[in-house]
Amino acid sequence: MNTTETKDPKSNSTVVDTSDALVTSPDPLHPANLIPELCKGFYHLGWVTGTGGGISIRDNDKVYIAPSGVQKERIQPSHIFVLPYPQPSDVVQRTFLRKPSIPLKESACTPLFWAAFDLRNASACIHTHSQHAVMATLLWGNKEGAEPVFRVSGLEMIKGIRWGGVEGAMSYLDELVVPIIENTPHEEDLRDSMAQAIKDYPKAAAVLVRRHGVYVWGSTWELAKTQAECLDYLFELAVKMRLAGIDTDWRPEA
């Protein structure tokens, strides 16, 4: 590994390695191999088209992050940023263990991924621009004075969600509640409201962003992925139910 420490004058961040050592592994489960593979899958689900969205994976004291504003289905392991964990989620003072040698910038979602790592001890966080998530934010919690949340109950896929995203599994009898925050012109400016929503809704496994998408996390990348799949299914189905005039608050008796 090239251990020369340099200061990036543009971003005022510290970079210690621009070689590929931290992102080269024959192991398909290495985060630098997984992120490109998972992003390709998310692209085909319509979750990360047009460059937005993605996934970050934390492996103990290292966080792996994809580049910003690139075709997420075409990312290579050599495009991945590696950051030490923990560190403040401050944009100005960010420290990197490894940056790509070609001119790329880390995902604008980095401070939001960090909120899930810091506040939920998550090991992976997924951001999607799924139209199902966006439709859910347009149909729930949007009336004057209404609590800004998505709610649904009485659907089997709720069992695929964990309390707080990282604890025990929810039951078929439970109501799923996901807070909705308002969008901002710049992704990184969502950080404080996402952190507040995570604190206000400690049982929620995700945060929806109005007219934008959703952030979902888990204690492993596998659980972040399956919860993102269950939530997306529930957003899609609940939207269809609401549009068909079917009660989405029906709850089975205990």
Binding-residue pattern over the window 52 to 81 for Zn ion, x denoting contact by CB under 5 A? x-----------------------------
Residue with Cβ nearer ligand L4RZE5RM (52 or 165): 52
Judge contact between 57 and 31, C-beta under 8 A: yes
| Count of residues that bind ligand L4RZE5RM according to CB under 6 A | 12
Which tokens go with 154? 């009485």
Looking at residue 175, what DSSP letter applies?
P
Active site annotation includes 188: no
Query: Burial of 81 by CB count in 10 Å (0-12 exposed, 13-18 middle, 19+ buried)?
Result: buried
Distance CA 216, CA 218 (A): 7
Residues 168-227 that bind ligand L4RZE5RM (CB under 6 A): 187
Segment near Zn ion (CB under 5 A); pick from 31-39, 51-59, 195-203, 217-225: 51-59
Task: Please choose which of ligand L4RZE5RM, Zn ion, none residue 108 contacts, taking the beta carbon within 5 to 8 angstroms, the exact cut-off set by kind.
Answer: ligand L4RZE5RM
> Is residue 111 part of the contact set for ligand L4RZE5RM (CB under 6 A)?
no
Binder among 41, 69, 88, 202 for ligand L4RZE5RM (CB under 6 A): 69
Catalytic one among 5, 37, 147, 156? 156
> Is residue 36 part of the contact set for Zn ion (CB under 5 A)?
no
Known binder of ligand: residue 44? no
Looking at residue 221, what DSSP letter applies?
H
Segment near ligand L4RZE5RM (CB under 6 A); pick from 38-46, 82-90, 103-111, 197-205: 103-111
Kind plus residue range of the DSSP H or E element containing 238: helix 221-243
Distance CA 144, CA 178 (A): 18
Nearest-CA neighbor of 13 among 70, 71, 65, 54? 65
> Is residue 50 part of the contact set for ligand L4RZE5RM (CB under 6 A)?
yes
Distance CA 50, CA 164 (A): 29
What residue is closest to ligand L4RZE5RM based on CB? 52
Helix or strand or coil: residue 43? helix
Known binder of ligand: residue 186? no
**Which phi and psi (to 5°) does residue 206 adopt?**
-160, 165
Write out the residues near Zn ion by the rule CB under 5 A: 52
Write out the catalytic residue numbers. Answer: 156
